[in-house]
Amino acid sequence: MDAIRTESITKRYKELTAVDHLDLTVREGELFGLLGVNGAGKTTLIKMLSCLAEPTEGDAYLLGYSVCREKNKIKPFLGVSPQETAVAPNLTVRENLNLLMGIHGFSKEKREEKLKELTDGFGLAPVLNRKAGKLSGGWQRRASIALALITEPKILFLDEPTLGLDVLARSDLWELIRALKGKITIILTTHYMEEAEELSDRVGMMKDGKLLAVGTPAELKESVGAEKFEEAFIKIVKGGVKQ
Amino acid sequence: MRTAWFSVRNAKEIVRDPLNLGFGLGFPLVLLLLLSAIQANLPDSAPTMFEISALTPGIAVFGLSFFTLFSALLISKDRGSAFLSRLYTTPLRPAEFILGYTLPLLPIALAQTAICYLAALPFGLHFSPSVLLVLVATLPNAFLYIALGLLFGSLLNEKQVGGVCGALLTNLSAWFSNIWFDPKLVGGWFYQIAKALPFLHAVELERAMQTADLAAALPHLWWVLGYGVGIFGLAVFAFFKQMKQ
């Protein structure tokens, strides 16, 4: 079964068409990278797929449910880690995790069990009792992804998860993302070439709201006769032609 | 339960911010201290400027005007940090967002008013059981100022909130409220504006309740509730609109 299928999905903001009649299919368990320069429409597409923005035209089906008509059926299966820091700054990491679990109606026993699981899985023990707003960017992103995984989502959206992080913090996050591969479907937006190539099973390249090319990193390089992934991206985006 | 979790989070965000405590509690108490000291040092022949029984409810309402700043800042920060986007993907319903931003501020407002009155006792405020009625009057007054915060927090960004709620609204609320001077003394259009705005009525409501004069309190209560409900309605509309955007 496809995890995500979009049908000519479009988003317009007055004169600007942020996503333009985009068709895309993502398989279950796949890590799909969305690559594009700033303003390509990646975040808008993620917002529509995660039910945060209404499509102007078209539709998308997540696990068979329509984002236009069946938001409430989809939401329990989604995890979202937005581009900007999405933590409550004056709450500790433990309180942030408990807050989200409480809002999702977890029992006390389930909260304790999940807290331990996420603390161990994400190595959060050193910062568990520190205010989230006082943590470094790397720790905040780590906590943010842990928050997105609280409900054991079937589809996880990671919007520019390593933006602005230093090399070590980025490497740590890559490890965490690799550990999730295959277990859930992940949509990762990035404008770092090496990140898309390193982590993704398949990559979609976007420009001006359009999906120009989709394939494995090797397929995309081969399609334009490029040796390096970055070279392939430049050729495809500058060419602006659908592959 | 979802509302309770969200409310507790909002209460923690507010009370853990030292600036909130400084402005919301410290500043009104300092004013109470200074104005009482001025009154104490006036010669006996001088007219009364800051009678403690009239000053205390005024200062308590002035303290509430900072609640607009607290709630507006909290919402605008949440909007700016994508924290709200995360919460929009949870089962929290629109009404639960509104309640979660409103309810936690009410007990904090009650505590602030109680502290203000306790601080006024050493300066000569006569304690009688009717003083406790002031706490009842605090609820509609706090609701009015929180509703203003919800409205501005839904419309403005963090920087704009600082200017509009931190500077403009607190001054507007103070000038037109009969805390520092009686607008009747200015007269004319100034007095008409003061009467048309809810701030003067909020102070008069507390003063009337302090003496258990319910007949005098009621007309002011309707003004405060009318403005509170109207502004709250606008705030809910503005919040839902930005939620959809």
pLDDT tens per residue, range A26-47: 999 999 999 988 889 998 999 8
Task: Kindly state whether A129 is in contact with chain B, defined as any CB-CB distance less than 8 angstroms.
Answer: no
Residue A243 has pLDDT above 60, yes or no: no
The helix (run of H) or strand (run of E) holding residue A33 is strand A31-36
- Residue with more model confidence, A58 or B165: A58
Residues in chain A closer than 8 A to B4 (CB atoms):
102
Task: Kindly state whether B93 is in contact with chain A, defined as any CB-CB distance less than 8 angstroms.
Answer: no
* pLDDT for the residue numbered A176: 84
Q: Is the dihedral of CA B86, B88, B90, B93 positive or negative?
A: positive
- Say what the ipTM of the complex is: 0.79
pLDDT tens per residue, range B90-145: 888 888 999 999 999 999 999 989 988 888 888 888 888 888 888 888 999 999 99
* pLDDT for the residue numbered B157: 87
B14, closest residue in chain A (CA to CA) = A90
Q: What is the pTM of this model?
A: 0.81
Question: Two tokens at B106?
Answer: 């009410």
Residues in chain B closer than 8 A to A90 (CB atoms):
12-13, 16-17
* pLDDT for the residue numbered B142: 95
How many angstroms separate the first and last alpha carbons of chain A? Answer: 24
Task: Kindly state whether A46 is in contact with chain B, defined as any CB-CB distance less than 8 angstroms.
Answer: no
Determine which of A46, A103, A107 to mutate to test the interface with B (most B C-beta atoms within 10 Å): A103
Q: What is the mean pLDDT of residues A14-35?
A: 93
Q: Which of A86, A91, A105 sits opposite B12 (nearest CB)?
A: A91
Residues in chain B closer than 8 A to A54 (CB atoms):
244
Read off the pLDDT band of B49 (50, 70, 90). low
B79, closest residue in chain A (CA to CA) = A86
* pLDDT for the residue numbered B187: 82
Size of chain B, expressed as the number of residues it contains: 245
* pLDDT for the residue numbered A94: 96
Task: Kindly state whether B101 is in contact with chain A, defined as any CB-CB distance less than 8 angstroms.
Answer: no
Mean pLDDT of chain A: 89
Residues in chain A closer than 8 A to B87 (CB atoms):
103
Q: What is the mean pLDDT of residues A51-65?
A: 92
Burial class (CB in 10 A: 0-12, 13-18, 19+), A179: exposed
Burial class (CB in 10 A: 0-12, 13-18, 19+), B238: middle
Task: Kindly state whether A186 is in contact with chain B, defined as any CB-CB distance less than 8 angstroms.
Answer: no
d(C-alpha B102, C-alpha B48), whole Å: 38
Task: Kindly state whether A239 is in contact with chain B, defined as any CB-CB distance less than 8 angstroms.
Answer: no
Inter-chain CB proximity A90 and B12 less than 8 Å = yes
- Residue with more model confidence, B208 or A162: B208
Determine which of B9, B74, B88 to mutate to test the interface with A (most A C-beta atoms within 10 Å): B9
Q: How many CB atoms lie within 10 A of CB B61?
A: 33
Cβ(A124)–Cβ(A142) below 8 Å: yes
Task: Kindly state whether B244 is in contact with chain A, defined as any CB-CB distance less than 8 angstroms.
Answer: yes
Residue B6 has pLDDT above 90, yes or no: yes
* pLDDT for the residue numbered A19: 94
Residue showing tokens 């609701």: B143
Alpha helices in chain A (DSSP H): 42-49, 71-74, 93-103, 108-122, 137-148, 167-180, 193-199, 217-223, 229-239
Determine which of B3, B89, B99, B241 to mutate to test the interface with A (most A C-beta atoms within 10 Å): B89
Nearest chain B Cα distance for residue A203, angstroms: 25
The helix (run of H) or strand (run of E) holding residue B118 is helix B105-120
What percent of chain A stands above pLDDT 90? Answer: 56
Nearest chain A Cα distance for residue B91, angstroms: 7
* pLDDT for the residue numbered A231: 92
- Residue with more model confidence, B116 or A10: A10
pLDDT tens per residue, range A71-109: 888 888 888 888 777 889 899 999 999 999 999 889 999
* pLDDT for the residue numbered A241: 52
Residue B24 has pLDDT above 80, yes or no: no
Q: What is the mean pLDDT of residues A157-183?
A: 84
Read off the pLDDT band of B48 (50, 70, 90). low
Residues in chain A closer than 8 A to B12 (CB atoms):
90-91, 95
